[in-house]
Chain A
Amino acid sequence: EPEVTQTPSHQVTQMGQEVILRCVPISNHLYFYWYRQILGQKVEFLVSFYNNEISEKSEIFDDQFSVERPDGSNFTLKIRSTKLEDSAMYFCASGDQSPRAFFGQGTRLTVV
Chain B
Amino acid sequence: DQQVKQNSPSLSVQEGRISILNCDYTNSMFDYFLWYKKYPAEGPTFLISISSIKDKNEDGRFTVFLNKSAKHLSLHIVPSQPGDSAVYFCAAYAPSGTYKYIFGTGTRLKVLA
User: Which A residues are closer than 8 A to B by beta carbons?
Assistant: 4, 6, 31, 33, 35, 41-45, 48, 50, 55-56, 58, 89, 91, 93, 99-106, 108
A1 to chain B, nearest CB (A): 11
Instruction: Verify if B14 is at the interface (C-beta below 8 Å from A).
Output: no
Please measure, in the bound complex, the distance between the C-alpha atom of A108 and the C-alpha atom of B41, giving whole angstroms. 8
A65 to chain B, nearest CB (A): 15
Interface residues of B (CB under 8 A from A): 32, 34, 36, 41-46, 49, 89, 93, 95, 98-106
Whole-angstrom CA separation of A55 from B43 in the bound complex: 22
Q: In the complex the two chains form, is B104's CB within 8 Å of A45's CB?
A: no
Query: In the complex the two chains form, what is the Cα distance from A50 to B95 in whole Å?
Result: 12
Contact across chains for B44 and A43 when beta carbons are under 8 A apart = yes
In the bound complex, do residue A45 and residue B42 qualify as a contact, i.e. CB atoms below 8 Å apart? no
Asked if residues A42 and B99 are in contact (CB atoms below 8 Å), the reply is no
A102 and B46 contacting across the interface, CB-CB below 8 Å: yes
User: With A91-B43, A100-B34, A102-B46 known to touch, is A56 a contact of B99 (CB < 8 Å)?
Assistant: yes
Given the interface pairs A42-B104, A42-B105, A99-B32, the reply to whether A4 lies near B43 with Cβ below 8 Å is yes
